[in-house]
Amino acid sequence: MLLNSSICENGDTVVTSGNRLSIETAAEFSRIVREALTASRHVMIEFEPTVEIDLTGVQILCSACKSAAQNGKIFSYRGELPHGLVELIAVSGAERHAACKHNNNSTCIWFGGT
């Protein structure tokens, strides 16, 4: 699966993760997410189950979520969070189970909340 996006009938955009969300794919991932947030009110990431993700990929997810919230949009995921992302968040100490001030005081869906 490649990193790309598609617009659904209802106007939402789905971004597929491809096999890697890392420093090597950061520029393209950021561009695709920015374009999706410009085009749609709701953008969802659909993760490849075995996606390799590094801290750069996590930073882009967090930044996109903050940007969406600041512009009255929604940035979320569809399906399951991949094990690699959950594990990276846990081992990096980034887990949080509190409201995010940048996301309308909602619990962070990326760093431990649901």
pLDDT in tens, 27-39: 999 999 999 999 9
Tokens linked to 41: 């009110």
Phi/psi of residue 25, nearest 5 degrees: -110, 5
Question: Residue 56: inside a domain, yes or no?
Answer: yes
Domain coverage including residue 73: 4-107
What's the predicted TM-score (pTM) here? 0.85
Phi-psi region of 18 (alpha: psi -120 to 50; beta: other; left: phi over 0): left
Percent of the chain with pLDDT over 90: 54
State the greatest distance between any 2 C-alpha atoms of the chain, in Å, as a whole number: 39
User: Cβ atoms within 10 A of the Cβ of 38, count?
Assistant: 11
Q: Is residue 95 over pLDDT 60?
A: yes
- pLDDT, residue 75, reads 93
- Give mean pLDDT, residues 39-58: 93
Question: Residue 113: inside a domain, yes or no?
Answer: no
Residue 8's CATH number: 3.30.750.24
Question: Residue 70: inside a domain, yes or no?
Answer: yes
